[in-house]
């Protein structure tokens, strides 16, 4: 396996850790409870497809706009539980 393939697999594994996590999306003066449906990297940024816990719709947002739920050890998803 080439080094590129190993890196691609590591990136996919780390992105997969976001899927299913809960957090709060900051939108101006609102905070919306969300769950992560998908994740990808684009131009060096981590983008998450989020869906509201209550309501409808979905949107790609930068990971930095999410405040992670307390049960996720106060931080970004780093490992499987």
Residue 41: pLDDT above 60? yes
Q: pLDDT above 70 covers what percent of the chain?
A: 73
For residue 1, the model assigns a pLDDT of 47
- pLDDT at residue 7 greater than cutoff 70: no
Residues forming a β-bridge with 25: 32, 66
User: How is residue 1 written in tokens?
Assistant: 């396996």
What pLDDT was estimated at residue 63? Answer: 93
Q: What is the biggest distance separating any 2 CA atoms in the chain, rounded to whole angstroms?
A: 48
- Higher pLDDT pick, 10 / 60: 60
Tally Cβ neighbours within 10 Å of residue 72.
14
Contact indicator for 47, 31 with CB cutoff of 8 Å: no
Q: Which whole-number Å values give the CA distances from 42 to 12, 20, 30, 47, in the listed order?
A: 13, 20, 26, 7
Domains of the chain listed by start with CATH number: 3-70 (2.30.30.140)
pLDDT at 75 over 60: no
């Amino acid at each position: 396996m080439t080094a590129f393939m190993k890196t691609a697999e590591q990136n996919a594994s780390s992105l997969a850790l976001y899927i299913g996590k809960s957090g709060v999306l900051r939108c101006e003066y609102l905070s919306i409870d969300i769950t992560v449906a998908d994740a990808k990297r684009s131009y060096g940024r981590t983008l998450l497809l989020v869906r509201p816990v209550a309501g409808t719709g979905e949107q790609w947002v930068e990971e930095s706009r999410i405040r992670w739920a307390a049960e996720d050890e106060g931080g970004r998803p780093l490992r499987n539980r």
